[in-house]
Structure 1
Amino acid sequence: MLLVRRRWPVGTLLATAAVLLAYHTTSFPPVGLAVPMAAALYSAAERGRVRWAVGVSAGLLVVSTAARAREGDDLAYLLGYEFVVSAALMASVVALGDAVRSRRRWRAELRRQARAADLEREREAARRVERERVRVARDLHDLLGHTVSVISLHADVARESLVDDPETARRSLVAVRAACGDVVRELRATVRALRAPDDHSPVPGLDRLDDLIASTRAAGLDVRVEVTGPRVPLPAVADAAAYRVVQESLSNVLRHADARSVHIGLRYAGDGVRLTIRDDGRGASGTGSGWGIIGMRERLALLGGVLRTSSPADGGFLVEAEFPGEAW
């Protein structure tokens, strides 16, 4: 009977109680209640049938005490010793079974939480990888787009002036070589960062704005910069995003706008900054859409900022980027 106590705990408990009651109705020597019922009570409690275990125990105690009292056993002995000892032993067995069940459930819950935590860590790692891939794609798009635009313009200048003005052609080719060197260095830094996630190489920020403007001016575009308010250090991610917004905006001007001049405004206020990049080109018909604008909007959205683009009534194209800060 006890061999199936784990599969049918309640049935085993009731059958054991019935056999024990039948035994006491015979002329065999009397035995206690707790020891014969211990295994069945433990199994019932361990399988979550605590109420059945308590109910059967109480019923056996009442029936046994009443029967022995009718047979003439000393009532003081029955209630003062036999009943108390049997009840205590049965309660201990039931409590032990319930404790084992609770501990198993606790361990199962810990394992479930550990699996959920592992799964969440894997998902977070996948999200980080995806964010990093998107970030690298944006950076490469901005970098290559700007550099290719500069190289293309200088190559055109060199081609047109190769015969009539060799010196201008030479300067343009020197600028092409310098642009190629810059892009190769940044590509190497990007590959190094991808191969070694712990690499802390500096990322481009507004401190490199002068170099960016110099390369754009060398491509034949008149770039003016106006800074308003005291400069404040920006978080690294915001600083890099601001640089990329300017870089992509200048790339769009070089590629699409057919402009002669660009005005860049940086207004610092509190711990934030507002960027404006405006050209005198042909407006949104050339630069109003594309992956560059989408990438800039995504950068600003991740930082809680706002990017607006428009074509002013007096011509040109305007990009406004607001980075989070107390003033906005």
Structure 2
Amino acid sequence: MGRSRIRAVAVDAGVGAAVAAVNAVAISADVGGETAPPVTAYLFAVAFGALMFARRRFPVAVLLVTAAGLVAYYVLRFPPVGLALPLAGALYSAAEDGRWRWAAGTAAAVTALSTFFRFREGDDPAYLFGLELASTVALMVAMIALGDGIRARRLLRAEIRDRETRAAAERERAAALRAEEERLRIARELHDVLAHTVTVISVQAAVAAEALEDDPPAAATALGVIREAGGEAMRELRATLGLLRGDSGDGRDGGTDGNGVLAPVGGLAQLDRLVRTAGDSGLPVRLRIAGEPVDLPRVIDTAAYRVVQEALTNVLRHAGAASAEVLVRYGAELEITVTDDGRGAIGHGSRPGEGRGLLGMAERVAVLGGALRTGNGPDGGFRVAVTLPLAPRGRIGADAAGAAR
């Protein structure tokens, strides 16, 4: 038997003992009686108390049996004990179980029946309808109200616990979602940092290998580009690790801003360096700026930079292009277009199972409320067109900024 069950039995035993004792005292008092009350009357008192052990499982049955027993008690003309005292425990139990209508109906029926017969037998109407009826009804109503109040309080506590449980589960789900978004952000950041650099190094290593004997200056230039690309990758990796650790920084290479929000790595101000690196890798890139440049939120600035970086990386790795163009247009929205003269969609890994860079690009843009369009250009080659709002329209705040990066 569990602790809660033991406690419930103890409570029922206490209620039953109280009911039996109160009724036994009333029987012993036997107001107006000339002889000692019979033992059978006390057995009724004990029975009224014993019924309390079944009040939790069968509250209505206990109420009806108690009422029937009370009627039988008075039919046998035992000493008067009133109506409310024998019924008190049963009325309370029925109301506590939510059966207050049964409790009220039973109380009204027993009271009406008792009043009718007592009036017919000649009891003083003033006493019967005045003091006694009022006190009996008041005590019955009090027991019903007490039981219903206890039930309401128990339901309120259960609802509070349920809300707390749901809130805790919601916090766990939110924490799991934030962790998943953080893992995705880390994967994107590392992909963007490493993919471009590894592509440049791969291209330049091939150039250096071919020119090592026939054209040493060209090999030296290629090795210089590799060294510069490696240094750039190390700087970006350090900045990215600083973001993950939450280190402070100046905002150019990563860290946190003044509000403690993770600051991005890279931005449109570094496009010249990105274009120069692509040119050093054998891909001439034309950079055009249209409209009046404006200060962009960091999350938008970084997303735009990463889109251009990923697009040029795809051109270097897959397109077989002789040249590319990057157009950045400032207006009601930020528009970025990267085109090349290569092999088109097939060269950019558009077959099933490929194109994870494009997928990451689309996810990054979608988080900010932007749009991404890719496909073959009107004059051949491949075209990546991105539209970004000038302020993030996705989930704003640290979580949105982290997801966007």
TM-score (norm 2): 0.75
- Give yes or no for the alignment of 1:36 onto 2:101: no
What is residue 398 of structure 2 aligned with on the other side? none
| Match in the other structure for 1:311 | 376
Residue 248 (structure 1) aligned with residue 298 (structure 2): no
Partner of residue 176, structure 2: 126
Tell me the equivalent position of 1:182: 232
Q: Does 2:357 match 1:287?
A: no
Structure 1 partner of 2:394: none
Letter of the 2:135 counterpart: V
Displacement after TM superposition at 1:278 (Å): 1.0
Unaligned runs of 5+ in 1: none
Q: Offset of 1:149 from its aligned partner?
A: 0.9
2:73 matched to which residue of 1? 23
Cα deviation 1:174-219 (Å, max 9, x = unaligned): 2212212222333344344445597735432223223222222221
- Secondary structure of residue in 2 paired with 1:187: helix
Match of 1:98 in 2: 148
Task: Give structure 2 stretches of 5+ with no counterpart.
Answer: 1-50, 248-259, 392-405
Amino acid of the structure 2 residue aligned with 1:92:
A
Match of 1:225 in 2: 287
TM-score of the aligned structures, taking structure 1 as reference length? 0.92
Equivalent pair of 1:57/1:90 in contact (CA under 8 Å): yes
What one-letter code is carried by the residue in structure 2 that aligns with 1:320? A
2-side partners of 1:122 and 1:233: how far apart?
37
- Percent identity between the two aligned chains: 53
Q: Is the 8 A contact 2:264 2:299 kept in 1?
A: no
Q: Per-residue deviation at 1:93?
A: 0.9
Distance 1:207 1:81, change over 3 A: farther
Q: Which runs of at least 4 in structure 1 moved beyond 6 Å after TM superposition?
A: none
1:108 to 148, 154, 158: 158
SS at match of 2:214: coil
CA distance in structure 2 between the partners assigned to 1:310 and 1:27 by the alignment? 100
Distance in 2 between the 1:104 and 1:232 partners? 60
> Which amino acid in 2 is paired with 1:247?
Q
Which residue matches 1:3? 53
Contact kept, 8 Å, 1:192 with 1:199, in 2: the verdict is: no
CA distance in 2, matches of 1:89, 1:231: 82
For CA contacts below 8 A with separation 6 or more, give which structure has more relative contact order: 1
Task: Give, as a single letter, the amino acid of the residue that structure 1 aligns with 2:52.
Answer: L
Residue matched to 1:208? 270
Question: CA RMSD, aligned part only?
Answer: 2.1
1:122-151 per-position Cα deviation (integer Å, ceiling 9, x unaligned): 112222222222222222222221111110
Aligned length: 325
Q: Which residue of 1 aligns with 2:339?
A: 278
1:108 shift after superposition: 0.9
Contact 1:157–1:172 (CA<8 Å) still a contact in 2? yes
Aligned to 1:235: 297
The alignment partner of 1:162 has SS state of helix
CA distance in 2, matches of 1:234, 1:74: 93
